[in-house]
């Protein structure tokens, strides 16, 4: 599976790479080189990040599903226990 970025996200990522090279490495990287580097990282490392995110989402969903019985449990046969013993008068 390849990770695709929107045009806007890709432009922001390329600008961020260019800034990183300038600010942190005191080097200049061109737009095309930054785009190629972004493509490399998306293809090489992107799937690792994606798979980790899927695993974390799966863990969270599993935890939520396991809590369903606690959150949504209803007592069965509760009619008589909900009625007050004084509510019924016998004739």
Number of domains observed in the structure of the chain: 1
Give a yes or no: residue 15 inside a domain.
Answer: yes
**Residue 40 dihedral angles phi and psi, to the nearest 5°:** -60, -50
Give a yes or no: residue 88 inside a domain.
Answer: no
Give a yes or no: residue 89 inside a domain.
Answer: no
Report yes or no: 17 and 39 within 8 Å, Cβ to Cβ.
Answer: no
Q: Which of 18-22, 24-28, 30-34, 74-78 has the lowest mean pLDDT?
A: 74-78
Q: What is the pTM of this model?
A: 0.68
Q: Residue 75 is part of which domain span?
A: 7-82
Average pLDDT, the chain: 90
Give a yes or no: residue 90 inside a domain.
Answer: no
Indicate the SS3 state at residue 4: coil
Residue 33 has a pLDDT of 98
């Amino acid at each position: 599976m390849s990770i695709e970025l929107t045009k806007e996200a890709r432009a922001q990522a390329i600008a961020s790479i260019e800034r990183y090279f300038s600010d942190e490495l005191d080097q200049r990287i061109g737009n095309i080189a930054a785009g190629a580097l972004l493509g490399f990282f998306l293809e090489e490392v992107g799937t690792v990040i994606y798979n980790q995110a899927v695993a974390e989402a799966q863990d969270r969903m599993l935890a939520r599903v396991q809590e369903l019985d606690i959150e949504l449990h209803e007592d069965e046969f509760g009619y008589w226990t909900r009625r007050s013993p004084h509510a019924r008068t016998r004739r």
